[in-house]
Amino acid sequence: MRALALLLLAATLPASAADIYAPGSPDDPHLRVAEYLSRDSRHYSAIVELRLIDPSNEPQRLPEPYRWQLAENYLAFGLRDRAQAIYRQLERTTDDRLMLGRAQLRIAEFEYTRGYWAEARATLYRMRESLPQELVEDWQDLLARVLMAEKRYGDAAEVLTDLDNSDRQSPYTRYNLAVALINDGRAPQGLTVLDRVGRLVPSDLEELALRDRANLSLGWYFLQSQQGGTAKPPLERVRFEGPFSNRALLGLGWAELAPQGERVSKALVGDEPETDSSPFTTFSTLGVLLRPGFVEEDIFKRAGLRSFRLSKASEQEEEALAKALVPWVELISRDPMDTAVQEAWLAIPFTLDRLGAYTQALQYYEKAIGVLEEARRRMEAAKISIRQGRMVETIVRREIESEAGWQWKLLDLPDAPETYFLQQLLAEHRFQEALKNYRDTRMMQRSLESWSQRLSTAERLYTASDRPPGDATLLIRRARSRWSPPWAGLEIPLRAETALSVPGAYAGDDPGAPQLRPRLRLAGAPARFNGPAERARAAQQRLADLSRQLAVAGDEQSKLLQDMALVNLDGQKQQIERYLIEARFALARLYDRRKKGELNDE
């Protein structure tokens, strides 16, 4: 039994022994912590944790799992050059071509979003020969976006069509193909692709928004081509409530009054499969909700207008007016800060004036002027808020601690007067990337402030003491009690001289004689101390220097964001002022004609 117990005990000993791991290996606890932090989008903290494994900053000497993790976090935090250097080392040693291909795609995506289009294109072309089959569609999509950003639409279309893989491409890629074809002068083919995207059955809200955008683009293209009849079907496929519904409502009204044009023939690209041609996949589209019978029988009553007979309009023109008013009346009930709503406020009185409803046109022009004046006032308030620097700080305040770096996204907008006007600008890469840079500088400044407080506490603990000063006499007595002379127990041999010598006749000490008295000399004062307090003080100075640099960088990014916002608001303000001039001129013209007795409503 004793032998059996010893065997069982021996069997359990390895489990209780400490784990042995190589630094940077999958078993390294620092690497595991970094993986957790990375999955939690805390890339800055993950980099700090990984650097603890390699204080000498020589990642090539550590295992591949460490290098992959370090490169991914470097890139996620926006340190592309450091990540790329590690990926180039891995390219010579790794056998995982799929993982390496994904890493190169992430670098190209980073370069594209930052506006480094030539570098992104070079990265994508460089990886073309060794591109894994699983990444072909992602590579096509990204390269096409880069080429379109450089306005090389023909090259982008060729990239998306030369592999005959349309059935595996995403709806976003097909939308980009349509835009590239239209801008390359191949409008019939591009419109066909765009129409297919506008008829897709969406699987999520993002695809639903893409379908609306495709239909809106298609409808307004036909409107600009004076083909109102062709523009109506795609505009009617847009959702009644959505990010593109206001522009679609505005376009529907103009489509009724625009020349109907001829039917547009389709031209196939040659790489798309046959799909279901039914455009209706939901009952919330404009074509369903604005059908006859949905609105009141008397559209003028719904618009707040009294009934009248349009004596100067033909029957066909009167019918077109009634149909145009349906979407516009719905549109003016929405937020007047939207430019589509503002244009609808002018479109209704313009149409009424053209058809002889002069009194109603006067009333609507007066209302439109009031709406536009309020929009201009709010625009000025937004500009004041931006100049005071509140906008950017308000946007990033709620996520100031986020360490997501380049992958951070602005998911919601604060309730501020300027954010509504800047929705389109806020979605652009140039604004988003500058906003990320500003947010990162603020996050790192807060990190430096936290470390500075910790170092200050450490220095204070090492330099300050609550103990009373010591008693010198007691300290000397205590030291002497523990001290013993170095010559204690030393045997001194003596020899007799045969003759006496006069004092001072000795040449010196006998070198062979034992040293009884230590030779002492005063030491110089130390050049500097390097204790914990001194090291904490030096680190605080370095942190102060870094904090000043971050403050300068943050101010530069804030100024850049402010300038972009003000330029955008100035453009919107000019549009509002043009609408105001048009409304006031039309109102003055109508008053002048009424004074002359030329207006006669029936």
Nearest to 345 by CA among 571, 576, 573: 576
C-alpha dihedral (120, 122, 125, 127), degrees to nearest 10: -80
At residue 285, the 3 state secondary structure works out as strand
Distance CA 116, CA 110 (A): 8
Q: What is the DSSP string of 217-230?
A: HHHHHHHHTT-HHH
Coil, helix or strand at residue 283: coil
Residue 395 lies in a domain: yes
Residues ≥6 apart with Cβ < 8 Å to 148: 156, 176, 179, 180, 183
Question: Can you name the residues that pair with 285 across neighbouring β-strands?
Answer: 239
Given this model, what pLDDT does residue 250 score?
Answer: 93
Query: Any idea what DSSP says for residue 170?
Result: -
Asked if the structure places residue 308 within a domain, the reply is no
φ, ψ of residue 393 in degrees (nearest 5): -65, -35
Contact 257, 355 (CB under 8 A): no
User: What is the 8-class DSSP label of residue 296?
Assistant: -
| 551 domain-assigned | yes
**Among 116, 30, 41, 95, which residue's Cα sits nearest to residue 72?**
41
Which residues are CB-neighbours of 188 under 8 A, at least 6 positions away?
264, 265, 266, 267
257 domain residue, yes or no: no
pLDDT tens-digit series, residues 57-108 = 788 888 888 999 999 999 988 889 999 999 999 988 888 899 999 999 999 9
What span, in angstroms and rounded, lies between the C-alpha atoms of 262 and 190? Answer: 18
Return the pLDDT at 23: 83
Q: Is 272 left (phi over 0), alpha (psi -120 to 50) or beta?
A: beta
Flag whether 370 is in a domain.
no
pLDDT of res. 485: 77
Does residue 514 form part of some domain? no
Those residues with Cβ within 8 angstroms of residue 306's Cβ, 6 or more apart along the chain or in another chain: 300, 360
Residue 414, token pair as written in the block: 């604060």
* Domain span at 426: 384-462+533-595
pLDDT value at residue 140? 93
Contacts 24+ apart (CB under 8 A), 485-492: 486/518, 487/516, 490/514, 490/516
Decide if 601 contacts 356 (C-beta within 8 A). yes
Query: pTM higher than 0.75 for the full model?
Result: yes
C-alpha angle 460-462-466 in degrees, rounded to nearest 5: 80
Helix (H) or strand (E) holding 33: helix 29-39
3-state helix, strand, coil in the chain (%, to 5): 65, 0, 35
Do 140 and 163 meet the contact criterion of CB atoms below 8 Å apart? yes
pLDDT of residue 1: 43
Q: Which residue has the tokens 């008053």?
A: 591
Our count of domains for the chain comes to: 1
Reported residue count of the chain is: 602
Inside any domain, residue 584: yes
What is residue 407's DSSP assignment? G
Compute the distance between CA of residue 46 and CA of residue 23 in angstroms, rounded to an integer: 16
The torsion angles phi and psi of 185, rounded to 5 degrees, stand at 90, 5
Q: Is residue 115 part of a domain?
A: no
- d(CA 74, CA 38) in angstroms, rounded, equals 10
Contact 230, 265 (CB under 8 A): no
Residue 324 makes CB contacts below 8 A (sequence gap 6+) with 252, 253, 254, 256, 257, 347, 351
Regions of the chain where pLDDT drops below 50: 1-17, 276-277, 283, 292-300, 302, 306-310
**Alpha carbon distance 115, 336 (integer Å):** 34
Structure confidence by residue, pLDDT tens digits, 304-354: 554 444 455 567 777 887 788 889 988 998 888 888 999 999 999 988 887
Separation of alpha carbons 112 and 104, rounded Å: 12
Say how far apart CA 551 and CA 557 lie, in whole Å. Answer: 10
List phi, psi (to 5°) of 456: -60, -40
